[in-house]
């Protein structure tokens, strides 16, 4: 507020829009003045008398409005006000803080100011993009120092001249960076195959609701459909591609072209076969790989698809499967869908993380780790130490993994 003798900083930490609870964070003399003027604690104490790191129930009064809030006084006299998630409640609290001289800043700026290091800042921002409890827990470990501690251990190895040990640590971190990328970006799983093998029914079964059009006619799905879900706690985007086949229909041909492009970008391809159209003595893997090669050309040379034998409910006996690359299901009847979900999770994340493991999760982190490893390989430990120091202090770009 212009002319106010107080100063401070405040930020709304919860997303825009109506919610159950909203959080407004603030710090500085202006924040204390606003709280003392508007917050009536149930215990009757002023802000300075409240215990640190202890929540306090009370009411926020501004004009004719009085509403229940919870106040948390931090160790450094910063504070959080937890109120009703409606926009009006947040606006009243923010208005009181502004009137007391607080400057309102984006939540990212608050995170940067309150984070002990650059990695913690990046983790706090990445947490806002985590869509599952599992990925949020991993990012919270990084916020709480898992990655910083591993970098400190590598630096210590370098200071002691243990280049091989430091090299091993950095190599392991870089190997986990692909998983780190998927803490905020979903894994891409493409469901593909020839027309009418049940791809649309399969994506509906995997996400648990009717996402795709299902009709017994080749060419029904003319474009790439997608649905976001979680598999074993990992965010996954399933794409239901158009039936891949040669066609004279320009609209369908465009859908097939997009489907092939989607296969090349996928982290995992599910190649779907119709079990009712395959005799019992056929080699299912050979059939799938032949179809993939015929329909997708060069892409198929390096492909390691998970083969899905669909429509097993139409068989008199279940097919004999001896290869771990094949999962037999019935999308319409819901048979063995859990087994398919488990197989997808195993393909995407074959080595599960333990609680507290260090994982790099931004382009900046990956780049500096790679530079440090290169310096070690060149026999320059001091340069490697410099790169690792920059990793924690933030002397590089801060883009998230793309």
* Pairwise CA distance, residues 370 & 393, whole Å: 17
Contact 126, 180 (CB under 8 A): no
Query: pLDDT per residue over 108-166, tens digit each?
Result: 888 877 788 999 999 999 998 899 999 999 999 999 999 999 999 999 999 999 999 99
Query: pLDDT per residue over 236-248, tens digit each?
Result: 999 887 655 555 5
Contact 27, 8 (CB under 8 A): yes
CA torsion 78-26-12-401 (nearest 10°) is -50
Pairing of strands 234-240, 187-192: parallel
- Which tokens in the block code for residue 295? 């329909």
Query: What does the pLDDT read at residue 371?
Result: 98
Burial string for 35-47 (b: 16+ CB within 10 Å, else e) reads beebbebeeeeeb
Query: What does the pLDDT read at residue 293?
Result: 83
Query: What does the pLDDT read at residue 214?
Result: 43
Q: What is the mean pLDDT of residues 65-82?
A: 92
* pLDDT band at 317; cut points 50, 70, 90: confident
Burial string for 277-286 (b: 16+ CB within 10 Å, else e) reads ebeeeeebee
List of domains in the chain: 8-108 (3.30.1360.120), 118-176+354-393 (1.20.120.430), 187-348 (3.40.50.300)
Query: pLDDT per residue over 322-333, tens digit each?
Result: 667 999 999 999
Q: The whole model's pTM is what?
A: 0.77
């Amino acid at each position: 507020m212009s002319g106010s003798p107080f100063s401070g900083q405040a930020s709304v930490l919860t997303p825009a829009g109506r919610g159950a609870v909203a959080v407004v964070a603030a710090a500085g003399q202006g924040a204390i003045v606003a709280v003392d003027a508007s917050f009536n604690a149930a215990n009757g104490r002023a802000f300075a008398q409240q215990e640190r790191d202890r929540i306090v129930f009370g009411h926020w009064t501004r004009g004719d409005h009085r509403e229940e809030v919870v106040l948390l006084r931090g160790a450094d006299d910063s504070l959080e006000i937890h109120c009703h998630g409606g926009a009006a409640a947040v606006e009243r609290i923010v208005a009181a803080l502004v009137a007391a001289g607080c400057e309102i800043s984006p939540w990212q700026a608050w995170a940067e100011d309150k984070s002990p290091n650059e990695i913690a800042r990046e983790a706090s921002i990445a947490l806002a993009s985590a869509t599952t409890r599992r990925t949020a827990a991993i990012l919270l470990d990084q916020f709480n120092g898992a990655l910083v501690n591993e970098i400190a251990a590598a630096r210590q190895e370098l200071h002691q001249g243990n280049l091989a040990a430091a090299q091993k640590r950095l190599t392991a971190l870089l190997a986990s960076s692909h998983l780190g990328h998927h803490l905020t970006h979903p894994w891409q799983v493409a469901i593909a195959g020839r027309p009418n093998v049940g791809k649309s029914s399969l994506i509906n079964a995997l996400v648990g609701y009717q996402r795709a059009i299902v009709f017994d006619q080749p060419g029904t799905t003319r474009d790439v459909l997608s649905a976001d879900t979680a598999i074993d706690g990992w965010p996954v985007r399933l794409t239901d591609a158009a039936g891949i086949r040669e066609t004279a229909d320009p609209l369908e041909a465009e859908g097939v072209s997009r489907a092939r492009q989607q296969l090349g970008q996928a982290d995992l391809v599910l190649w779907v076969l119709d079990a009712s159209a395959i005799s019992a003595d056929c080699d299912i893997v050979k059939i799938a790989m032949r179809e993939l090669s015929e329909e997708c050309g060069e892409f198929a040379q390096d492909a390691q698809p998970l083969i899905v034998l669909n429509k097993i409910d139409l068989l008199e006996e279940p097919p004999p499967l001896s290869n771990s690359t094949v999962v037999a299901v019935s999308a319409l009847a819901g048979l063995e869908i859990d087994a398919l979900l488990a197989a997808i999770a195993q393909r995407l994340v074959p080595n599960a993380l333990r609680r507290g493991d260090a994982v790099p999760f931004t382009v900046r982190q990956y780049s500096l780790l790679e530079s440090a490893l290169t310096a070690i390989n060149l026999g320059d430990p001091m340069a490697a130490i410099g790169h690792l120091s920059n990793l924690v202090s933030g002397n590089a770009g801060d883009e998230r993994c793309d």
